[in-house]
Amino acid sequence: MAEPVRVAAHAKVNLRLRVLATESGGYHALETLFLRLALRDEVELAPGPPGIRLTVEEEPGPLAGAGRCGEAVPRGETNLCWRAAEAYHRAVGREPALDILLRKRLPAGAGLGGGSADAAAVLRGLEIMTGEGPGAARLMALAGELGSDVPFALSDAPAALAWERGRRLLPLPAPPPRPILILVPEFAVATAEAYRWLDEDRGAAAGGDDGPGGAFLLPSADRLASWEELDGVSVNDFEAPVFAHHPALAEWKAELLEAGARPALLSGSGSALFGVFQGEAERDAAAERFEGRREVAVLHTLGPA
C-alpha cells in the first residue's frame, strides 16, 4: 500500500507577461518571466477507494482574509487538482483510487498561480506516491495541457522565462531576496475574461485586427538575476484592459510606485498586485498605507533555491 504524500504548491508572480499572437487552436502564445514565492498551498495525496475524492480546507495564512482561499475553490471535476489526477492516471493506464486533501492559503482569481501550483503538486505527488510515472517529458506535457502556469509550477526552478503556452521553459537563477508586498482586492478576475478584454482592446485599436503584443530582445539570463535589469523589462499586457474595468487597481499600482516599489505589477491576469522593495522599512511603510483597504501580504521573495 502506497504511503500518503504531502507536496508544497508555491505561488508565483509574473515579472513580465507579454501576450503574443493567437494560435490556430485559439490559445494565445505568451512570453513571461516567472518568480516563485515562499507563499504556498499544500496538497496531500493518499490511496483511497476507486475514483477521486477531493477535500478542500482553508488554512490560516498571510492572504487568508481575502475570502477566496477556500469557499471559491471548486470541489468537483472542474478543480485543477482533480483534472491533474485524471490526466496522470490516463497517462499511466490505471484507474484512479485517490483521496486528495487541498489545504488552501492562496486566493482564487488573484493571478498568483494557486490552482496551477495545486495541479502540479498532484502530478508530482502521484509520481512519488505510486513510484511510477509517464516520464519527465510526458509529465511536463500533461502540465502544459492543464494550463500555462502549470509547467513552471511543476519545475524546480526558482525563476524561469517561458514561451508558447508556458511549455517552453528556460530556468533562471533567482534574484536576491527582497521584501515584497502583495495586495489582493475583494474581487477576482477570471483569466478567460481578462483575455476577452485584451482581445477586444486590440481589435478596437487595430480596426478589427487582433494585433498581438510585441516581444523584444531580453538581457542575457545571468543579467536577469539583477533586480535593476528585471525592473527594466517588467511589463504586463493585461494591465491596460484589467485596469480599465477595475480602475482602483491602477490607483493602487501608482501608490506602490510612489512608495518606492520597483517593479510594481499586476500578477498574471490579476487581480493581485505586487511591489518589490529595496528594504523592509520601505515595504512596511507601504503596507501601512494600504492597511484596512485591501488584503495585504508582507513577505520576501523566495530567493535562490
The predicted-structure confidence for 1-40, as pLDDT tens digits, reads as follows 578 999 999 999 999 999 986 665 667 788 999 999 988 9
Active site residues: 12, 149
Q: Does domain 179-300 have CATH number 3.40.190.10?
A: no
Q: Per-residue pLDDT tens for 125-150?
A: 999 998 888 999 999 999 999 999 99
Q: Where are the domains of the chain?
A: 5-171, 179-300
Among candidates 233, 299, 236, 231, which has minimal Cα distance to 271? 236
Report which secondary-structure segment, H or E, holds 242: helix 239-245
Q: What pLDDT, on a 0 to 100 scale, did the predictor assign at position 93?
A: 94
* 5-171: CATH architecture: 2-Layer Sandwich (3.30)
For 273, half-sphere exposure in the C-beta direction (CA atoms, 13 angstrom radius) is: 30
| pTM for this prediction | 0.90
Residue type, 29: A
pLDDT score recorded for residue 21: 67
Q: Which residues of the chain have pLDDT under 50?
A: 207-211, 213-215, 304-305
Q: Are 174 and 160 in contact (CB under 8 A)?
A: no
Closest C-alpha among 24, 161, 145, 166 to residue 88: 145
Sequence-ordered strand ranges (E) for the chain: 5-22, 28-47, 51-58, 97-104, 159-164, 168-172, 179-184, 264-266, 273-276, 295-300
